[in-house]
Structure 1
Amino acid sequence: MLKQQKDLIDQLSDGEMLKQLYMTQLIVIIVSAVAGLFLFQHANAFFKLWNIRDTHIIWYGVSLAVIVIILDLAVMKWCPPHLYDDGGINKKLFSKRSVPHIIFLTLLIAFTEEILFRGVLQTHIGLWTASLVFAVLHFRYLTKWLLFIMVTAISFLLGLIYEWTGNLFVPVMAHFIIDVVFACQIRFQQVRREMHDENVKSREKKSPESL
């Protein structure tokens, strides 16, 4: 299944991948709006979930992001690559994006997904169910047990800090930092590969002249 997914990803152009990402986020926003209309009695009940002045945004949100990033880096260091290979989706999405575009995309993803899974679903159906739904909908990880455990654990932790603080800005901050760090890592790895390839080509061009 992972090979079929990778083949499908390879067939998509960069523009098509980006278009699919934006369409997915639009669908998430629409689902959130429709579900919110039925589940929240009035708009104020939703807006009360946000508090930009809450210091928990830093203490809980940033701290959780740092912990998750360290654990993910440890997994990448000590586990075989095939265990955390997502089929190339993230690499295709972020390897050629500019840093400002990466920041915009990861911020958009953090807001749309946290509004749906924490703000709408968890508020009304509970932490465990919302976390499981979040994990299952990241269907590309279902055949990769390590990735599925990781995304389920991260989802639960995001839900937990929302449960503790009652402030949606907290999981949004954590989600954004986690995504933007790894997306930028993918981008910088691509830059290093391109520089290496340029250096190799440059040496190959110079070598005949030096003979």
Structure 2
Amino acid sequence: MGNKQSELIKTLTDKELLQNLYLTQLTILVIGIVISKWLTGRWFSPLDNIHFQIEHILMGFVIGLSVVFLELILYKILPSSWFDDGGINSRIFLKRSPLHILVLTVVIAFSEEFLFRGVLQTNFGLWIASFLFAIIHIRYLSNLFLFSFTVLLSISLGFLYYFTDNLLTVIVAHFTIDFILGLMIRYSKIK
């Protein structure tokens, strides 16, 4: 599966890749909104769990930094093949401006956490939401390490949401991880 996806990605232009990324995130958000309406009778019920509490925002930021730090340590000590996603992350971030990386990672963090934490975890529990979160990151299914790391990350974000009951906390954590790693790819600090 990984090789097929990698080959498919190589056939896409940067514009097509970005269009697919934004379309995927829009689809995830729309699915979240529709499921929210179906389960709660309200389109945007997850937004009720966004609380602008500075300690929760800082907690999300610190958790995000911790994940980045752990990933960088693992990147130094483990074989590079363990981090091979078929070049997708490089294609997404390498030629983007920092502002575009900021926009991309805000969109990704918001849409994914709206669906997976705000809708699915709230209604079906941490384990189902975490499993589905890992599954949508299909490019990692052919790489046991990346898939396992994504599952553990999803469970960690799920526990963070469970303990804070604040969707903003996990959005900030998810954003921090993606934004910093995106910048590191952009400036060729990691591949």
TM-score scaled by structure 1?
0.85
CA distance in 2, matches of 1:21, 1:121: 21
The aligned counterpart of 2:70 is 71
Supply the AA of the counterpart residue of 1:163: Y
The aligned counterpart of 2:31 is 31
Supply the AA of the counterpart residue of 1:142: L
SS at match of 1:189: coil
1:54 Cα shift? 4.5
State the structure with more CA Rg.
Answer: 1
Q: Percent identity?
A: 41
1:44 Cα shift? 7.8
Deviations 1:30-82 (A, max 9, x none): 10111010112446853321101352221x21121121111111111111111
Segments of 5+ residues of structure 2 without an aligned counterpart are none
CA distance in 2, matches of 1:115, 1:89: 23
Supply the AA of the counterpart residue of 1:170: T
Aligned length: 189
Supply the AA of the counterpart residue of 1:48: D
Q: Judging changes above 3 Å, is the alpha-carbon distance between structure 1 residues 44 and 62 closer, same or farther for their aligned structure 2 residues? A: same
The aligned counterpart of 1:9 is 9
Deviations 1:122-180 (A, max 9, x none): 00000111001101111111111100110001101111110001100000000000000
SS at match of 1:96: coil
Q: Judging changes above 3 Å, is the alpha-carbon distance between structure 1 residues 45 and 99 closer, same or farther for their aligned structure 2 residues? A: closer
CA distance in 1, matches of 2:44, 2:127: 25
The aligned counterpart of 1:46 is 46
Q: Judging changes above 3 Å, is the alpha-carbon distance between structure 1 residues 57 and 148 closer, same or farther for their aligned structure 2 residues? A: same
Q: Judging changes above 3 Å, is the alpha-carbon distance between structure 1 residues 4 and 123 closer, same or farther for their aligned structure 2 residues? A: same
The aligned counterpart of 1:127 is 126
> What is the 5 A alignment of 1:1-211?
1-42=1-42, 45-58=45-58, 60-189=59-188
SS at match of 2:84: coil
Supply the AA of the counterpart residue of 2:2: L
RMSD: 1.5
